[in-house]
Structure 1
Amino acid sequence: MGEQAVRDAAVRAGQAAVELAVASRGVKDAALRAMADALVARRDEIIAANSSDVDGARAGGTGAAMLDRLSLDAARIEAMADGLRQVAGLPDPVGVVVRGSTLANGLELRQVRVPFGVVGIIYEGRPNVTADAAGLTLKSGNAVLLRGSSSARRSNAAIVAVLRDALAAAGLPADAIGLLPGESRDEVSHLMHARGLVDVLIPRGGAELIRHVVEGSTVPVIETGVGNCHIYVDAAAEVTMARDIVLDAKTQRPSVCNAAETVLVHADLADTFLPVLLPALAAAGVTVHGDKTVAAQGKALDVPVAPATEDDWATEYLSLDLAVAVVPSLDAALAHIRRWSTGHSEAIVTGSQSAARAFTARVDAAAVLVNASTRFTDGGEFGFGAEIGISTQKLHARGPMGLPELTSTKYVVTGDGHVRG
């Protein structure tokens, strides 16, 4: 798709955004429910398209974690539909008064939430993002231009065709949901430079994609981030709880950004905890990359441990791999996290309130969890409905980005013939 075609698609999205901005909640919610029903009703054609993508990716040598991200089945399509229904049940952010007052001169001042307009979303691999993004942008009054990866080209095209048909049948413009085909990298560049036609870009994927968009775009960007997430098991941790949290955070779905990638164990608990943790990880099929202390424990337990390198502390595995180190103190754990964290999600397991307070106060991340798995950093788990991504930046939005994060604000000032002169 050439530059002019991308700009034309953005113009059509902008025209649709004008209509969406004033659509009532009832109209938008009815459209979301229609979109959900259509996904389920037409799931066979979506699965057929997805099977072609998966077969092509497998033939191209794509790894198991990425194949898992790419794959759709009836249950995942039902989950996509449920996500849209959940969004329909959430409050509409558009028009919400953030703050208001009557000034000393009698002017009435209100700051209200308004849509961005046209949101561009560039993402990799996961076709379920297509439905999530379409639902959230619609509910927040925005039109969306989607650009998924070439590996999911057929899946995304099938999903968007279903959603556009349902949108039109519900009386809203089909161009509120647009898809750039994903056949050429030039499309990404054209979208990144459609300033004035696209109001904001949200990249969602690996570090290379995010860096490319953040550094090269002339359109404003909301930065989502990779998840090199840590769990610190404190000296005061309860062993069974810590084991269960680590297993959940690593194995429940290892290919996602809120899966744990490094575990730090306080030295005072290591001799008790590692003999419990390492066999459990091995039984779950997890390859441990450990420091010298962890490797020695593994040898004593006859559990294989790969020697950890500097690269392991920096790696977002997205697979059944886990880096494990023993640290002498909470301060040492915090220093390790400061060096290697991507600012996504960091967790502590402890029975000490003072340790928990110190950890939550001193860790700089979008989400800090106490005695809970990092897998809870998720819009759905937080009660936001489907999310557009996890923002690791500090401007505008941070953490799971739900509906309010897809709006801006404007001031409405009401007077009664007021003049300043």
Structure 2
Amino acid sequence: MTGRLESLTAGQPIVYGGDRVTHVDDDLAAAFEPGDHLVVVQQTGDLLHVPQSEHHIVESAVTAALDGFAELARSSDEQITAFFERFADLLADDEVFAVIASANDADVAAAAARGRSTTRLELGATMRDDMIAGLREWAKADAGRDAIIDVIEHPGWTLESRRAPLGVVGFVFEGRPNVFADACGVVRTGNAVVFRIGSDALGTARAIVSSALRPALEAASLPTGIVQLVDSASRSAGHALFSDARLSLAVARGSGAAVSQLGAVAAQAGVPVSLHGTGGAWMVTGLGADSDTVTAAVTHSLDRKVCNTLNVVAVPQEIAETIVPAVLAGLDAAAAARGTVGRLHVVEGGEHVVPAERFVRQVTIDRADGPSAETAASPIAESGLATEWEWENSPEITLVVVDDVAHAVSLCNRYSPHFVASLVTDDTAEHDAFYAAVDAPFVTDGFTRWVDGQYALNKPELGLSNWEGGRMLGRGGVLSGDSIHTVRYRAHIADHGTHR
């Protein structure tokens, strides 16, 4: 027998994973009302409550996107180009942007009052310029909605494989207003998008929609449904979105735990998933490393905290006496540029290569919840190499002394998020061996912050994939708007006497 869930009882058993049981707690039982949805994460047993109101918000947004997607097929590539151009022009208009900036100021102030990090939330001049530049890149990009990929000639008939739009993309990301423009890149290839931005930036997102996005769609005579903001500050709206089986792809970008949970929700709903969560770059200094190059690479990898920011530095014991000071100089330079001091974690056994005074000197570290009095350096267990330091203003890294580069690679392959790996060396053979052995999609010989779709590929990204959950099938680690496509096949039968 089947029925509809109308209520929950404290202590009620819920089966998950086929053979495990979790139980409803008091708060969930009290909050659940008729019409609400309960999402059971089959991997973990997490019980996610989606109120009926949140479900309706998401359901309406996805329906509008589906309708818009169908209409978009009848729109021209020139209209899509006009949309991106107009969107960029509106963001570049100081009068229009003043409204958006005011909303962002309010978001930043509210987030700061709650002790939340605001470094990625602030929509300053640089972020604004990047958004405008990204939209203009999409305006110039090849449409590719019906591009011929391959043609196979057969006796009496021909087969074409052609690119085609995928459908509606669900996109959940943290409170970074610039990602808003990145998400619109899927329209270039004929797709629609429904996104939920982090609650910290919801006011900014609303202002962008009303002041720039919707007017740009209307000016280009495109269906307004193709870009939908889930207008809710509740995390349950993200759970509702990724539970909607009408999505063609679910993209999650943010902190590791939240992204993993969202991915599990989408996967069990039968929606393909692209996750962009855990970050933190690793840097190894090779035997052929130059001290000045190491300092520069460290400094330029710590200008701000994002996913491609330097997190771990591995130095072979043989060169530690000369290279560790270069690493510390880079950390200190990056901190000084931000008007603060750096924080160092040293894997146990490597303390002897760091000046002893760093382990006793008290410094003020800028944390998201306020200043914190800490020592400049402290020891950490080897397992701590798996920790991504989510610093606010004070650059923070882990230093590990290794036997050699091969030892560093083995630690990277074991503890890192399999994301960005750098070997600073002047020895080509040493770097070739590193590239062959390290398990990461992004490999370099210098600073790590180049790993960015817009900076490196001139394509605004929806996210950067690590290899924690397996290597990408058929595409690279940069998920961009033009990555969102499928393939259709079209046959032309010239000789109707052809048969099998």
TM-score when normalising by structure 1: 0.92
Q: 1:262 to 1:140 in 2, by over 3 A?
A: same
Q: Does the 8 Å contact 2:294/2:326 carry over to 1?
A: no
Instruction: Tell me the CA shift for residue 293 of structure 1.
Output: 5.5
CA deviation digits over 1:258-286, x for unaligned, max 9?
11100111222111111222134234232
Higher helix share: 1
Partner of 1:326: 401
CA deviation digits over 1:364-420, x for unaligned, max 9?
212111x22211111112224211111234224331122331111111222123653
Amino acid at match of 1:383: L
Aligned equivalents of 2:317, 2:104: Cα separation in 1: 47
Aligned equivalents of 2:63, 2:378: Cα separation in 1: 53
Picking from 152, 156, 166, the partner of 1:101 is: 152
Q: 1:49 to 1:374 in 2, by over 3 A?
A: same
Aligned equivalents of 1:148, 1:137: Cα separation in 2: 16
Q: 1:75 to 1:224 in 2, by over 3 A?
A: closer
Alignment of 1:166-315 (within 5 A): 166-195=216-245, 197-217=246-266, 218=269, 219-249=271-301, 251-253=302-304, 255-283=305-333, 284=335, 285-292=341-348, 294-299=350-355, 304-310=376-382, 312-315=384-387
Q: Does the 8 Å contact 1:121/1:146 carry over to 2?
A: yes
Q: Does the 8 Å contact 1:274/1:294 carry over to 2?
A: no
Amino acid at match of 1:77: R
What is the SS of the residue equivalent to 1:5? Answer: helix
Q: Which has the higher contact order (CA 8 A, sep 6+)?
A: 1
Task: Answer yes or no: is 1:146 the counterpart of 2:190.
Answer: no
Partner of 2:186: 137
Q: Does the 8 Å contact 1:384/1:402 carry over to 2?
A: no
Partner of 2:107: 53
Instruction: Tell me the CA shift for residue 252 of structure 1.
Output: 1.9
TM-score when normalising by structure 2: 0.78
Higher strand share: 2
Aligned equivalents of 1:207, 1:316: Cα separation in 2: 10
Q: Does the 8 Å contact 1:225/1:344 carry over to 2?
A: no
CA deviation digits over 1:30-80, x for unaligned, max 9?
110100111222111111111111111111111xxx311011124422321
Aligned-residue sequence identity (percent) comes to 29
What is the SS of the residue equivalent to 1:335? Answer: helix
Task: Answer yes or no: is 1:5 the counterpart of 2:57.
Answer: yes
Aligned equivalents of 1:236, 1:301: Cα separation in 2: 29
Picking from 390, 399, 417, the partner of 2:477 is: 399
Aligned equivalents of 2:125, 2:429: Cα separation in 1: 46
What is the SS of the residue equivalent to 1:222? Answer: strand
Picking from 392, 414, 422, the partner of 1:347 is: 422
Aligned equivalents of 1:14, 1:305: Cα separation in 2: 53
Partner of 2:83: 31
Aligned equivalents of 1:2, 1:275: Cα separation in 2: 53
Task: Tell me whether 319-328 or 184-193 shows the greater mean CA deviation.
Answer: 184-193
Partner of 1:160: 209
Q: 1:6 to 1:276 in 2, by over 3 A?
A: closer
Partner of 1:112: 162
What is the SS of the residue equivalent to 1:230? Answer: strand
Aligned equivalents of 1:20, 1:389: Cα separation in 2: 24
CA deviation digits over 1:130-182, x for unaligned, max 9?
11111x11112111101011111101111122201211111111111100023
Instruction: Tell me the CA shift for residue 9 of structure 1.
Output: 1.7
Structure 1 residues not aligned, in runs of 5+: none
Q: 1:164 to 1:311 in 2, by over 3 A?
A: farther
Amino acid at match of 1:5: I
The number of aligned residues is: 412
Picking from 76, 86, 94, the partner of 2:127 is: 76
Aligned equivalents of 2:144, 2:303: Cα separation in 1: 32
Picking from 440, 443, 460, the partner of 1:368 is: 443
Task: Tell me whether 396-405 or 177-186 shows the greater mean CA deviation.
Answer: 396-405
